[in-house]
Amino acid sequence: MEKNIKLTEGNITSTLVKLALPIMATSFVQMAYNMMDMIWLGRVSTNAVAASGTAGFFTWLGTAILMIPKIGAEVGVAQSYGRDDMKSAKKYVKNTLQLDIFIALIYSLILIVFRHQIIGFFNLGDTEVIQMATDYLVIISFGLVFYFLNPVFSGIYNGSGNSSTPFKINALGLAVNMVLDPFMIMGIGPFPKMGIKGAALATIIAQFAVTAIFIYNNKGKSLFKDLNIFELPDKEYINTIFKLGLPASLQTGLFASIAMIIARIIAQWGPTPIAVQKVGSQIESISWMTAGGFSTAISAFVGQNYGAGKWGRIKKGYRKGLMIVGTIGVFATCLLIFGASPIFKLFIPYDKEALKIGITYLRILGISQFFMTIEIATQGAFNGLGRTIPPSLVGIIFNALRIPAALILSSTYLELNGIWWSISISSIFKGVVLTIWYTLLLRKMPDVDNKRSVNDNDRI
């Protein structure tokens, strides 16, 4: 493929930054889809924001499922490139795409058939919010296959060292969404005012456009040459993809499930705090999306160098990557604590109760930003080695502890703020524990590179 970066050679810092910047930009593009929805829906009503936030938990859960083929693509392709094994890389492309499409279709069907029970889980107690959330969920479900395909295509490109192409393609999709959102939500020009339905339609049209461009761009590229997704999957590769991606998928899935339970706890204060959490999480995603870009870059970097047996380069790459994301985390902390008021007003400008709750939410979550960013970066380093269980284990344990912590702290004088503190404190612990774990692992690695290549049996 064109524009690939050979991650086993050259200056480490510039290599990481060159790879990470387009990935970060792609993450911001994906985040901007939801932000555009929030900005326009916030001008419709707080209930519309709450409804999209409620239904959005299930696209988040879908993201957890697609982590299996996405991580499989990123790590499998990266390690294959490190071994100069294009045949293996192409096998990962075919099998991750096949698995991705299959799970997308099954998940979409489940969401459509059980839509009423799914939204009913939250006990929202507001008929208007329930109906809007159900409408949003159904529309999004019909286009979910595109929502699943695009991150896997991006993962394939990232694993090969080409992070600029996914950014450019996803940016085009964002442009489509930005144009359609105000027209379809507010009813501008020839479009009727569709509110939350318009937000859902604009999103799936944009996602479809991104998929179409990816498919067109893949023509003639070596990784996609002679690709036939209708061939029978390769059992060996499917098993490896699950080994690589399942721990991260379980972590993200449980994270989403825990967030749903916490949302149900929050619902006892009404729909406004749910809307606040939805908007607040989008604002906070500025830092974890940035760190996520470097996490993916570190994963590809470590994966290729692990495939080439370059241990010293792995150690230096992780340390330099951690310094960069740590700086980002400190900046995010300052931004959320000192800029909470003007930032939140961009999304819900007229609801005084929502503003008050949202400002407090951002300031409490701001305290944990540094620790959250180093956790995410370290997760990428573990993934590059093919050791996806440690970050998943740490994430699952401390995310699960949010539920009893939220119940206990919210029953004190802290009330709703106790829930925000349970989230922030758990993020601090995750960052500390996972970074120490990886540091101990680094000490067990050789200090010098070797000439061997890592074969498939060594990868996990």
- Does the residue 5 lie in any domain? no
Q: What value, to the nearest 5°, has the Cα angle with vertex 293 and ends 139 and 178?
A: 40
In this structure, are residues 332 and 352 in contact, taking their beta carbons and an 8 Å threshold?
A: no
> Where do the H-state alpha helices sit in 143-224?
144-159, 164-186, 196-218
- Does the residue 332 lie in any domain? yes
- Does the residue 2 lie in any domain? no
- Locate 230 and state its tokens: 């209708």
pTM, full prediction:
0.69
- Does the residue 8 lie in any domain? no
Residue 333 makes CB contacts below 8 A (sequence gap 6+) with 366, 367, 369, 370
- Does the residue 111 lie in any domain? yes
Q: Between helices 235-266 and 389-400, what is the axis angle to 10°?
A: 20
Q: How many residues does the chain have?
A: 460
Task: Name the residue range of residue 41's domain.
Answer: 15-458
In Å, what is the CA distance from 224 to each residue of 26, 69, 212?
A: 21, 16, 15
In this structure, are residues 452 and 235 in contact, taking their beta carbons and an 8 Å threshold?
A: no
In this structure, are residues 256 and 64 in contact, taking their beta carbons and an 8 Å threshold?
A: yes
What is the full per-residue pLDDT of the chain (460 aa) written as tens digits?
Answer: 345 566 777 778 887 888 778 877 777 776 776 677 777 887 777 788 888 878 888 887 888 899 899 989 888 888 888 788 888 888 998 999 999 999 999 999 999 999 989 888 887 777 888 899 999 999 999 999 999 999 999 988 888 888 788 888 988 988 898 889 889 988 887 888 888 899 899 989 999 999 999 989 888 777 788 788 888 889 999 999 998 888 888 878 887 788 888 888 888 888 788 888 878 877 887 787 788 878 888 888 888 888 778 888 888 888 888 898 899 899 999 999 998 889 888 877 777 888 899 899 999 999 999 999 999 999 989 988 888 889 989 988 998 999 999 999 999 888 999 999 999 999 999 999 999 999 998 888 776 655 444 444 344 3
- Does the residue 436 lie in any domain? yes
- Does the residue 7 lie in any domain? no
- Does the residue 253 lie in any domain? yes
What total number of domains does the chain contain?
Answer: 1
Instruction: For the beta carbon of residue 456, count every other beta carbon within 10 angstroms.
Output: 15
Backbone angles phi, psi at 295, to 5 degrees: -60, -45
- Dist. CA 219–CA 163, nearest whole Å: 17
**Does residue 269 sit in helix, strand or coil?**
helix
